[in-house]
Structure 1
Amino acid sequence: MSEEQADYQQLNGIALAYMGDAAYEVFIRQHLIEQGLTKPTKLHHKATMYVSAKAQAALIDLMTQDGLLSETEQDYFRRGRNAKSYTHAKNTSVMTYRISTGFEALFGYLHLSHQTERLAELAHWCIEQVEAGRLTNEK
């Protein structure tokens, strides 16, 4: 591994979440555009159904309920959830924000470890859950 490449196994949860946020967002943006949405305000509004902290926290709860994650994936989720963040939640509780950081860290791990099929599988699964109305807004 070259010096320019960060070893994802050594990255903290916040760095993994930073990468995962972008990796997951690409799937969501592509999905929305494929649905024919083209106006930026409409795209942004619809995207929040998938990428808000509340949505991501609800999605990780569903992944746990459905037994979707491997032990390693759960470890990376926990690394992100438990990471010390110096930013604070906007429009949500601290716990929901931390859980969503764990969700993003999981996606960051999958992206940086080149598990592209698994990343796509989970992203599409998340889209299906949102479309099916499985998310609750109780968090």
Structure 2
Amino acid sequence: MKFQQYQNLKKNLFPFNEQNVLNDRYKKEDINPRQLNPLVLAYVGDAYYHLYIRTRLLNFEQAHVHLLNDFSMQIVSATFQVQAYEAIKDELTETESYIFKRGKNAKSHAPRVASVHDYHISTGFEAILGYLYLNNEQNRLDFLCERSFLQVAKNMYQAHQQ
């Protein structure tokens, strides 16, 4: 996207009418998660996973915000999301596997803090979560997030025991 196009999109992102009412461009029922860009699914999945992990950590610590932040940032990192994906990959449905592949293969720029491989795997993992969230599959989403969390927690525990 060219800079001018980007600036125009930013300028007109929130369309208010003459009565100062915000007009959504899309209706909720018009959003088809299967047709969304996989990076958009990953964007939503990343936000959901952050919230899930932060909330889940409250079962272990409720007073020390710095510790909660340290653990949550570590768990949601690309490296640990690879572990999360490994914990669920054999249980994915055909659709979830398809969404994962789309996310993993999406063209994007890997950050400097993760390997390209880990970044692509984590993008696929997040795309699955975003898809499930937008598809209102809360039970499945909770199941996969919990399965992932338990494996990551187990790996962290074992690493600290050595």
- Into which bin does the TM-score normalised by the smaller protein fall? 0.7 to 0.9
Per-residue deviation, residues 70-123 of structure 1 (Å, max 9, x unmatched): 1111111111111111x4323111111011000000000010000000000011
Question: In 2, distance between residues paired with 1:106 and 1:44?
Answer: 24
Question: In 2, distance between residues paired with 1:135 and 1:113?
Answer: 33
Unmatched segments (≥5 aa) in structure 1: none
Larger RCO (CA within 8 A; separation ≥ 6): 1
Which residue does the alignment assign to 1:89?
Answer: 111
Spell out structure 1 runs of 4+ moving beyond 3 A: 134-137
Range 5-14 or range 108-117, more displaced: 5-14
Which residue does the alignment assign to 1:12?
Answer: 37
How many residues were matched structurally? 133
Which residue does the alignment assign to 1:122?
Answer: 144
Percent same amino acid among aligned pairs?
Answer: 36
- 1:13-52 mapped onto 2 (5 Å cutoff): 13-52=38-77
Question: In 2, distance between residues paired with 1:90 and 1:56?
Answer: 16
Give the deviation of 1:63 after TM superposition. Answer: 2.0
Q: CA RMSD in A?
A: 2.2
Per-residue deviation, residues 3-56 of structure 1 (Å, max 9, x unmatched): 323221210110000000111112111111222233332111111332110011
Q: Which has the larger radius of gyration?
A: 2
Range 123-132 or range 36-45, more displaced: 36-45
